[in-house]
Amino acid sequence: MSEARTPTPVIIDTDPGIDDAMAILAALADPALEVLGLTTVFGNVSEPRATRNALQLLALAERPLPVAAGAGHPLRRTPAPHADFVHGVEGFGDVALPAPSRAPDTRPAAPFLAEEARAARAGGRPLTIVALGPLTNLADALTAHPGIAADVERVVVMGGAVRHPGNVNAHAEANFWHDPDAAAIVLAGSWPVTLIGLDVTECARVYPDDLAALPPGRCTAFIAEAAAHYAGFHLETRGFHGCYLHDPTATAAAAEPGCVETRRLTLSVTRDGDTEGAVAETAAGSVVDVAIATNAPAIRRHLLGSLANGRLP
């Protein structure tokens, strides 16, 4: 019998978000990951709602982990409206969860990330950061605490569209579009970055019948109900009644790096103008491991298997 694998310690930076909720709950159940906490950022919802939603998800999963509130606006550009039409006004479609009974961590997201990364490195189990929203918190951490780059093992970023059209416009993916300056800073950091963009996340889908077939439980019932709203959005805008697995692909890649094929590319992020947030391959820029292909059925199985493994209430 093979020896059990030591789980990868992760902090998830998030703007929950229906697909964020899928990714977070699956990560909490995944034996290959040890979630140490969440940091929150504006994006799918406002930052206060993101923090509330993160605390609600952890309460639903009975995991009293720290949640550190982060950035409420981009570094420089004018904030864009939140994607109510995608995720609903509250972020979880038509589902209302009970108000959280815990307060956020006293540390803001940037120092929280830096301190937790330093402690994890000192303990011999360096941290992976999985970023599911705009990259403002990570950019703030790099700027204010530059030593974090040496302390972090890897940064897995759900964002960008390199060889694929955007989902905000023809050029840009939503997370990079919300804060292109932060995206450029994070990609230029001296830490290893794996970019999980629309090139692969729009290959993986899950359908309402998949979620309805999950074992009964509070978390699976919540996901099935919230995802009904998300599937309705995709039916109206993309012509299929299901959900792209944007954020769950990133958490799956953190757990099982082999589920995506990456290529080391040199990238630049457009910070201004009509194509702000766009990612381009360039001769000089940031060297990043970019996911260019994925085993979409494996991503779907990874999500459903994690949600069904009995580790969530």
Looking at the annotation, which residues are catalytic?
15, 246
Phi, psi of 130 (to 5 degrees): -110, 115
Is the bond leading into 17 cis (omega within 30 degrees of zero)? yes
Under DSSP, the state recorded for 107 is S
Biggest distance spanned by C-alpha atoms of the chain: 57
Phi, psi of 179 (to 5 degrees): -150, 80
- Cα 312 vs. chain centroid, distance in angstroms? 20
Q: In whole angstroms, what is the distance from residue 95 CA to residue 76 CA?
A: 33
Q: In whole angstroms, what is the distance from residue 196 CA to residue 9 CA?
A: 19
CB-count exposure of residue 6 (10 Å: 0-12, 13-18, 19+): exposed
Pairing of strands 286-294, 127-131: unpaired
Q: Which amino acid is at 50?
A: A
Pull the structure tokens for residue 191: 């830490």
Q: Which residues contact 88 (CB under 8 A, 6 or more apart)?
A: 18, 94, 229
Buried b (16+ CB within 10 A) or exposed e, 69-85: bbbebbbebeebebbee
